[in-house]
Structure formats: structure tokens, C-alpha cells
Amino acid sequence: MRDAARAAIGEALAACGNPSSVHRAGRAARALLAASRAAVAEAVGLPPGGELTFTSGGTEANLLALRGAGRRVLRSAIEHDSVRAAVADATIVPVGPDGRVDLQALETLLAATGAPALVSVMAANNETGVLQPIRDVARLAHAAGALVHCDAVQAVGKVPFDMAALGLDLVSLSAHKLGGPQGVAALAVAPGVALAAQQPGGGQERGLRAGTENLPGIAGFAAAITAAVAELATYARLAALRDEMEARLLEAVPQALVAGQGAARLPNTSCVALPGLPAETQVIALDLAGVGVSAGSACSSGKVRPSHVLEAMGYPAAIARSSIRISLGRNTIAAEIDRLVAAWIPLAARAKRSAA
Ligand code: PLP
């Protein structure tokens, strides 16, 4: 967690007022809530007149956007499970082999959708890091009279992101992906976009999301996103480190592959497959070497199943089952990459043995 977030959480915990209370402590809490809301709105480029609603996570923000809009949903095939599960009967927009959403298919599907629609495409994929053509998605959706939701949980704080410039109607964020605490997030809503509350009750968050606000978490979120956006350059530097790591892995193990390597990606994410060796085996071997990586989506770690993202990109199930996600942190240094490379390369011999 970023130092600024930890400090803001500590200060808010010490104050402990409820933003809905009328007394002095309540008013102070309300002022902190308003300042935090303004900071997050500014960091994400919410247009003037838009609303920002705090939620318990990116999962809840996605649910509020997708169910709250009350429209026919079209979503990409590589969305996070929280989008996939929010609307069971959504129309699926395919992606190409590079992991980018197929814009022509989107246009065709939009034309065939009679009802008022909502298109949901993430800004950056959580397994491959592949960046999506969000501006084009918004243009096509709006031309067809549809709204656009973007799950920007992985992108904000790692690459430049401006909701107004991209022309987005709904944007999901999550604090713990940008150096803030877990369990707090937000949905940014452009002016004029109406949503139905998915959690009714005491009327907090202008009636859109009831429940006493998690003020320490919200203050930490605001501090983290402000710092993250100011320090984007620290992430940009990771791309060179990531590229060098991939080059070393692929040179030593020619049968390995990096999913989405040809597309523009987040600077810190790499999805590496070692055909013949299950992802869990790689995760355990690397863990023993002191390197934490994930099999498939880290958000659902502990669960072992082939990645729907790699399957949507056309990789066979055997590749999907043998892929790991390596995420560099903003403080990752070259010596840590050396440790990963040294631990991973010997695994190729095990893959060969198990193939024999
Ligand atoms: N969307 C994406 C792209 C994610 O990677 C995650 C993972 O955490 C989520 C949504 C869910 O966010 P949260 O864990 O805050 O509920």
C-alpha cells in the first residue's frame, strides 16, 4: 500500500465521525467524504456534472453499472468474472488472437440489438494486460445509441486514463489495484446517465448505494489514486523491465509463449505459458523460490481452472492450463527479475519430462 494511503486511513480512523450525522464530528466526516470524492473524480477525469459513487469493490461497481442501467448488455469475451457473472444473458463480443476486442463484430452485434443497449469493455485485461480500444468502442456504441461501461480497475494508476476524453458513460475503479486498501472502490457516472440502486436502504451516496460509507477506506483510496496518477512514470519504467524478462524467458525456453505480446499492454503485466507444465506447478515452484505469481486471474486465486481469456484468444486448453500471470510492482527491481528467471527456466526441463 502507498504511504500516502496508509497515512490517510490512519487519520480517518482516528476521527471516526459518520458522514450522515449532523453534529460536528459528522460534518467533519462529510467534508472528508466530499474531498475524497472530488479527488477520485478528478483523477479519473469524470466530466463536470457527473457523479461518483463509492462501493465495496470493483465487483460491486461492475454490478451496479451492468444491472443498474437496466439495458441489454453486450460485453467482451475477456471481461473479469464480476462482469461475466453480473448479467447471465449478455451478448458476448469476441476478441482477436491478440486479445483486443473485435470492433467489427461489436458493430454488427450492436446493429442486431433492438433494445437500448449497454456495452461493457474493460480498459486493460487482468490476465494479459492487453489494452482495449476503448475510444473506438465508445464511438461505435454511441453511434448505435448505446451506453458504454468500462471496467478500468486494472488500468487506472498504471496508464493515462481520462473518462471524459474517452467518452465513457460508466467507469469502475478499485483502490487495491493502485496502492490503496482492499474493500473500497467506485463507479464514476457521466452526467445524465440514470441507474437503479442495487443496494437500497438508508439513502447514502445519493440513494444509489446505501450503507454507512467506509470513510477510512475512501480516504485511503483518494490518497492512493492521487499519488498513482501523479506518479505514472514509475509504471512506465516497468515496461522495459518486463520486456527484458520476457525476452530472457523466451530465449531460454523456446516452446514458451507470452499471450498478447504483440498488442499494447499494461507496462507491468505478463502472461507466460510453459506448455506441458500445469500453472499450479509453476506457481508452487516459484513460491518456494520466493516469487509470488498467479495462475489465471489473481482475483480468484486458489481456484484452478483454465483461463477464459486465453480460450477467447484462441489458445488451446493445454496452453491456458499452463499459463501464469507475472505482475511487476511499481518498486520491482532488476535483481528480483533475475530471481524469477533463475527459478523459472529449470521448470522447462520438468515440462519436457512430463511430456515424454
Ligand atoms: N475488474 C478487474 C479487471 C479486476 O482485475 C478485478 C480484480 O480485483 C475486479 C474487477 C474486482 O475488483 P474487486 O476485487 O475490488 O472487487
pLDDT at 298: 41
Q: Is the Cβ atom of 153 under 6 angstroms away from ligand 1?
A: yes
Q: Is the Cβ atom of 327 under 6 angstroms away from ligand 1?
A: no
C-alpha 83 – ligand 1 centre gap (Å): 9
pLDDT at 349: 82
What span, in angstroms and rounded, lies between the C-alpha atoms of 241 and 239?
5
Residue 78: half-sphere exposure toward Cβ, Cα within 13 Å: 31
Pocket test for ligand 1, best of 130, 158, 171, 177 (most atoms within 8 A of CB): 177
What span, in angstroms and rounded, lies between the C-alpha atoms of 103 and 147?
16
pLDDT at 26: 93
Q: Is 163 helix (H, G, I), strand (E, B) or coil?
A: helix
- The set of residues, in sequence order, having a beta carbon less than 8 Å from that of 6 and lying 6+ positions away, is 220
Q: Which atom of ligand 1 is nearest to the CA of 122?
A: 3
Q: Is the Cβ atom of 82 under 6 angstroms away from ligand 1?
A: yes
Q: Which atom of ligand 1 is nearest to the CA of 177?
A: 8
Q: Is the Cβ atom of 74 under 6 angstroms away from ligand 1?
A: no
Q: Which residues pair with 329 in a beta bridge?
A: none
Q: In what order do the strands lie in the sheet with 51-55?
A: 51-55, 185-189, 170-174, 147-151, 117-120, 72-76, 91-93
Q: What are phi and psi of 36, to 5 degrees?
A: -65, -40
Q: Is the Cβ atom of 76 under 6 angstroms away from ligand 1?
A: no
Burial class (CB in 10 A: 0-12, 13-18, 19+), 246: middle
What span, in angstroms and rounded, lies between the C-alpha atoms of 111 and 104?
11
Q: Which atom of ligand 1 is nearest to the CA of 297?
A: 5
Q: Is the Cβ atom of 122 under 6 angstroms away from ligand 1?
A: yes
Output the tens digit of pLDDT for each of the chain's 356 residues.
Answer: 999 999 999 999 998 899 999 999 999 999 999 999 999 999 999 999 999 999 999 999 999 999 999 999 999 999 999 999 999 999 999 999 999 999 999 999 999 998 899 999 999 999 999 999 999 999 999 999 999 999 999 999 999 999 999 999 999 999 999 999 999 999 999 999 999 999 999 999 999 999 999 999 999 999 999 999 999 998 889 999 999 999 999 999 999 999 999 999 999 999 999 999 999 999 999 999 999 999 864 445 555 677 899 999 999 988 989 999 999 999 999 999 999 999 999 998 877 777 66
DSSP element (H, E) containing 73: strand 72-76
- 299 in active site: yes
pLDDT at 299: 43
Q: Is 346 helix (H, G, I), strand (E, B) or coil?
A: coil
Pocket test for ligand 1, best of 54, 55, 56, 59 (most atoms within 8 A of CB): 59
Whole-angstrom distance between the N-terminal and C-terminal Cα of the chain?
Answer: 44
Tracing cell 461501461 back to the chain, one arrives at 149
Q: Is the Cβ atom of 126 under 6 angstroms away from ligand 1?
A: yes
C-alpha 291 – ligand 1 centre gap (Å): 22
Q: Which atom of ligand 1 is nearest to the CA of 60?
A: 16
C-alpha 253 – ligand 1 centre gap (Å): 32
C-alpha cell of residue 201: 436502504
